[in-house]
Amino acid sequence: MMLRPLLTAACSLALLTACSVTGGGPEPAAGERVVTLVTHDSFAAKPETLEAFKNETGITIKTLAGGDAGELTNKLVLTKGNPIGDVAFGVDSTFASRAVEGGVFADYASPEADKGAQRYRIDSANLLHAVDVGDVCLNIDVAALAAVGEPRTYADLLDPKYKDMLVVEDPATSSPGLAFLLGTIAEFGESGWQDYWRGLKANGVKVVSGWEEAYGQDFSGSSGKGPRPIVVSYASSPSAEIGEDGVPRTKALLDTCYRQVEYAGVLNGTKHPEDARKVLDFLLSERFQADVPEQMYVYPSREGVALPEAWAKAAPLPGTSRTLPAERVDAGREQWVQQWRALVQG
């Protein structure tokens, strides 16, 4: 997902800040129907798609960008009952149980959910609806590894021939970093993941704070042309690395993927419940879902939505990805991250 963390840089502030989904513009006129969509910093949509929705419904969508998925979830929990918006999008599967148990969302069964979103359902009360799917996987610079051969699995990275080649993101500060950690826990279990990370540390893994630094500065397969040919990124990232010859310069290792699902829901206590439900329906609609791949570099949750042509070759949706139950992630996340920090950075 090469571009996704940069798509809404204008809205990416340390504190929760308001910004238009179209990247700026006049404030809504007095009396205009406005629904506030609280979202992470990477939300993006085509202006014409939003304008068509406004023309059909009379509703203007305005966003509040609230950091990454973890920051967003914390802000929603802290403001439950007196929400800072009407709908929220961007709570992902690593934080969803916290939001559900925190009473953040209102019960609403969207009629659009049975078009595919229900495949990723995690609660029985229709609190959250899946909008998109994004798999975090190891990505490699194909040319840079031609001489030594490509790794395929997590375990392959322990081979000394890949020493000092891997860069990962800190799971305490990065969503893909956390997903990669969870993937190793799913792969090696509670009894084995720490030994695996000891092996990565011994083999020269580099840890940075976030995706932008890892992919844009350290990874040799990106425009930054860094020194390391293996990076934690997304299954969709190679679609942005296709050369003039039409051949992808990078590859996602599909045996190392951990699935993240991003959800949306109507916020409990919204003053505009009917309009908020219409916005949620819109996020699941065929029109909006068709924009998801190219706008946010993730896969749509709706079935039957065509992917961009380049994705078929460079970024197919992994057939099988590792996952952990949301309640297990919620129960273990803080302890796992603390253990990881003591082990890798201590």
1 — pLDDT class (breaks 50, 70, 90)? very low
Tens of pLDDT, residues 131-159 = 999 999 999 999 999 999 999 999 999 99
- Is pLDDT of 62 > 90? yes
DSSP letters along 15-81, please?
A: S-EEEETTSS-PPPPTT-EEEEEEE-TT----HHHHHHHHHHH-EEEEEEE--SHHHHHHHHHHTTT
CB atoms within 10 A of CB 306: 10
Mean pLDDT of 100-122: 94
Local structure of residue 104 (DSSP, 8 states)? -
Who has greater pLDDT, 188 or 20?
188
* pTM of the model as a whole: 0.81
Per-residue confidence (pLDDT) for residue 29, from 0 to 100:
61
Assigned CATH for 135-258+319-345: 3.40.190.10
Proportion of the chain above pLDDT 70, given as a percent: 91
- Is pLDDT of 18 > 70? no
Domain ranges of the chain: 4-133+259-314, 135-258+319-345
> Do the domains at 4-133+259-314 and 135-258+319-345 have one common CATH topology?
yes
In 3D, which of 94, 89, 93 has the Cα closest to residue 62? 89
| Whether domain 4-133+259-314 has CATH 3.40.50.720 | no
Tens of pLDDT, residues 293-306 = 999 889 999 999 99
